[in-house]
Structure 1
Amino acid sequence: MTLPTRDFAGRVVGVALVVRLATIMIALVGLVGQTMTGPLLACILVLSAATFAMLMYAQILDFVARHPISLVADILLSLTVVWVLGVESPLVLATFPVALVVGVLTRPAVAVAGAVVLCAGYLVVVMVPPAPAPRGFMTEVGVPALYAALVAIGVAVRSAHEQQVVAARAVSRAEQLTAAADERARLAREMHDSLGKTLHGISLGAQGLAAWVDRDPETARRIATALAEGAERAAREARELLVRLRQDEPDRALVEVLGDICASWQERTGVRCQFTVHDAVDLPIDVRYEALAVVTEALENVHRHADASCVRVSLAHDDDGTVRIRVRDDGNGFDAGTDAASPPGHFGITGMRERASEVDARLRVRSAPGDGTTVELAWEPPDAGDGRRPDGLSDRARALGGAR
């Protein structure tokens, strides 16, 4: 059986103390018009001082949460109040919260023992002078039953909290395993789609090179040149893959990562890149990775083909939950046609479409000669229909929202 978390235990003790203060106030209202005796005043002062001390000093509250055995002192204090004032005093109400705390902070066996001690001690003290209480249902059954019921409620609350903690840990573990599996699958897909194919081509060429060296030196020379180009391409693809993996930092806000990508690209190319954010939002890990890859590919296309003087990258979150990332340049543009396919001999747009399709996102490319190019990735979360925001929205990301 797991122990209650320190935060939970502290909250329970804090709520019990607030309830005790409230019951003291109720008791004082009930005592209006009665004579304030010395024992009554002493009980009020002791209970109030002890309660305020635990509420005002976090160290005391933390000590009680970490060492439930210290509740014995509170049980004794409660029994003393009952003994001094008698069961009919309204101030006896202030002794009930300790029963709830005993049930929450101690193990069930200890809680049962605490309930027995509390009930038995109560029955003993009410029969001992200075003021034995008159016999009756509330004296002999009602109050002890209420103590026992509050302990039982505390045990039930503790059990529910333990189940919640176990379930939360299981969910967290499952999410970690799923994220790790997704990461491995994504890396395998990246290597298969780019690096794997290139290396396979190099392997086939190398197998035939030895046979062509003696048979046809000229063909062997062409094959060797192709192999060198293939090896260079494989090295470049490996570097690009490592750069993309390094850029995907799940512990950082998407706003920060996109801003760093734009700043790094601007520094490397000398082309001005403006990054703006409208209602910043984070994305699930798999969607985030592909989105960053699309942005990186779009910026590289601008650098290689657009001859642009300015690029604008924006991150926006629509009212319907859709997240949009847009890359707009003022470069040469091209005839995108109706399907905005990659120009002959190029595969950038095709690759971006494939990445968007992997995470059920939509990619739209708008371009015309002399009018620049706009690449827009739109992703709608599965629960966007009910008006909720996408998962992953962070205060840190929201705080970083705005123009950069």
Structure 2
Amino acid sequence: MSTVQRDFTQRVVAVALIVRLLAITVALFGMIGEQITGTMLASVLVLSATSFSFLMYPSVARFVVHHPLAVVADLLLTLLVLAALGVESPLVLATFSTALVMGILFERRIAVLGAAALVTGFLLVDRVQGPPTTGFMINLGIPALYVGLVAVGSVVRHAHEREVAIASDLVEANRAVAQADERARLAREMHDSLGKTLHGIALAAEALPVWVERDPPTAVRYAHGLADAARQAAAEARALLVRLRADQPDRPLAQVLADQCRSWAAETGIECTFVSHGAVDLSTDARYEALAIVAEALENVQRHADASHASVTLVGAEHGAVRVEVVDDGRGFVVLDGEVSPPNHFGLTGMRERAAQAGATLAVSSTLGQGTRVVLTLDPVKETSGVR
């Protein structure tokens, strides 16, 4: 039995025992005006004590859930109460919870045996105490209730087991989808950046032997170009791996952004504050692009802003939209019209391309001497409709 199933079982058994306490209370109210015998009082105390021990002491509850055979003791206690008070006592109401608990804790075959033992014991007590009692409730109604409550407990148990199994299958399916998305994203990244660089290196390497024979000085320039391209490919590969490690689909987006902000602050020495408003998240593709845009914005702060503080804010906007802001208090720059990056800010073009890939909008505002604000807004309607 998994931890989730144990917790659920413990809660349901607790509810059954609360019902037992309520049944004892109802039975006592029903006996107002009658003489309370010592046997009656002892039965009430024993039934109440067993219920309170489960409800008040977690160690007792865990023991019962981990060792369902302990319910056999409760079954014997129930039969002893019936034998002591008789099958017509109002406290018979308090024995119904035993049937429900057996159905919840035991597998179906064992629960059926428990129901048979409870019904047999009930009818046997009735026969042993004297002439068999006549009446529908004694001969058929109460035994049928015992069987029905065992069946109800068994149905609840198996329904929860199916729910847990379905939830587990759903988690596995989501994990498989996330892994497929990661593979597709890796393929796109390699094709868009690293693949093109490596293709250029391959073409240059093919031409190099020809230039070595025909024009050695040109071959030297080609060799230097190959070295530069190889360094660029290595840098692109490292950046790709960093971005892939930064995206952790199994963790909430707020946690990943907070770690990204913390790591950047530790690496650069620039203070970075992360703030989140509302529980928000994105699809695997969109959050990957959002994390890459935040990383590029923070890199721009480090390289160009000469800032002492930066902040990253994640906000759940209206109609389910998500807004991510990166703000710094650096020197700022003049924002040009159009989609081109300003001088020395080539990363803005890539950020706008990534925003378009995620079906998002990117707004950059900056004032000289007053810092820069980058705002990424992701609309779930565009995101789910395939806008990329």
Q: Smaller-chain TM-score range?
A: 0.7 to 0.9
1:316–1:325: 8 Å Cα contact kept in structure 2? yes
Q: Distance in 2 between matches of 1:345 and 1:217?
A: 35
Deviates more, 1:251-260 or 1:25-34: 251-260
1:246 to partner: Cα distance: 3.2
1:367 to partner: Cα distance: 4.7
Q: Distance in 1 between matches of 2:317 and 2:49?
A: 54
Structure 1 residue identity aligned to 2:209: A
1:279 to partner: Cα distance: 1.3
Residues 89-104 of structure 1: pairs in structure 2 closer than 5 A: 89-104=89-104
1:212–1:220: 8 Å Cα contact kept in structure 2? yes
Structure 2 residue identity aligned to 1:177: A
1:313–1:328: 8 Å Cα contact kept in structure 2? yes
Structure 1 residues 383 and 142: CA distance shift in structure 2, 3 A: farther
Structure 1 residues 314 and 73: CA distance shift in structure 2, 3 A: closer
Residues 4-403 of structure 1: pairs in structure 2 closer than 5 A: 5-129=5-129, 134-250=133-249, 254-266=253-265, 272-284=270-282, 285-306=284-305, 311-329=310-328, 330-337=330-337, 339-343=338-342, 347-367=346-366, 373-381=372-380
Structure 1 residues 257 and 72: CA distance shift in structure 2, 3 A: closer
Q: Distance in 1 between matches of 2:4 and 2:117?
A: 23
Aligned residues: 382
Deviates more, 1:222-231 or 1:315-324: 315-324
1:372 to partner: Cα distance: 5.1
Residue aligned with 1:96, SS: helix
1:158 to partner: Cα distance: 1.5
Q: Distance in 1 between matches of 2:138 and 2:35?
A: 23
1:310 to partner: Cα distance: 5.2
Residue aligned with 1:87, SS: coil
Q: Distance in 1 between matches of 2:333 and 2:339?
A: 12
Q: Distance in 2 between matches of 1:73 and 1:29?
A: 27
Deviates more, 1:236-245 or 1:19-28: 236-245
Q: Which runs of 5+ in 1 are unaligned?
A: 385-404
Structure 1 residues 67 and 383: CA distance shift in structure 2, 3 A: farther
1:30–1:90: 8 Å Cα contact kept in structure 2? yes
2:252–2:281: 8 Å Cα contact kept in structure 1? no
Structure 2 residue identity aligned to 1:277: V
Q: Distance in 1 between matches of 2:77 and 2:8?
A: 24
Deviates more, 1:277-286 or 1:248-257: 248-257
Deviates more, 1:304-313 or 1:208-217: 304-313
Q: Distance in 2 between matches of 1:101 and 1:383?
A: 51
Q: Distance in 2 between matches of 1:70 and 1:190?
A: 59
Residue aligned with 1:277, SS: strand
Residue aligned with 1:342, SS: coil
Residue aligned with 1:340, SS: coil
1:287 to partner: Cα distance: 3.0
Structure 2 residue identity aligned to 1:12: V
Structure 1 residues 136 and 268: CA distance shift in structure 2, 3 A: closer
Partner of 1:398: none
Q: Distance in 2 between matches of 1:282 and 1:340?
A: 29
Structure 1 residues 382 and 151: CA distance shift in structure 2, 3 A: farther
Residue aligned with 1:374, SS: strand
1:41 to partner: Cα distance: 1.4
Structure 1 residues 266 and 274: CA distance shift in structure 2, 3 A: closer
Residue aligned with 1:364, SS: strand
1:55 to partner: Cα distance: 2.4
Partner of 2:386: none
Residue aligned with 1:23, SS: helix
Q: Distance in 2 between matches of 1:264 and 1:5?
A: 38
Q: Distance in 1 between matches of 2:265 and 2:68?
A: 60
1:282 to partner: Cα distance: 4.8
Structure 2 residue identity aligned to 1:39: T
- Listed one character per residue, the Cα deviations across residues 272-309 of structure 1 (whole Å, up to 9, x for unaligned) are 55424151545244333221210111222344445556
Residue aligned with 2:88, SS: coil
- Listed one character per residue, the Cα deviations across residues 78-104 of structure 1 (whole Å, up to 9, x for unaligned) are 122222212221111000011111112
1:65 to partner: Cα distance: 1.7
Residue aligned with 1:334, SS: coil
Q: Distance in 1 between matches of 2:250 and 2:231?
A: 33
2:23–2:91: 8 Å Cα contact kept in structure 1? yes
Root-mean-square deviation over aligned CA pairs: 3.0
- Calculate the TM-score normalised by the size of structure 2: 0.87
Q: Which runs of 5+ in 2 are unaligned?
A: 384-388
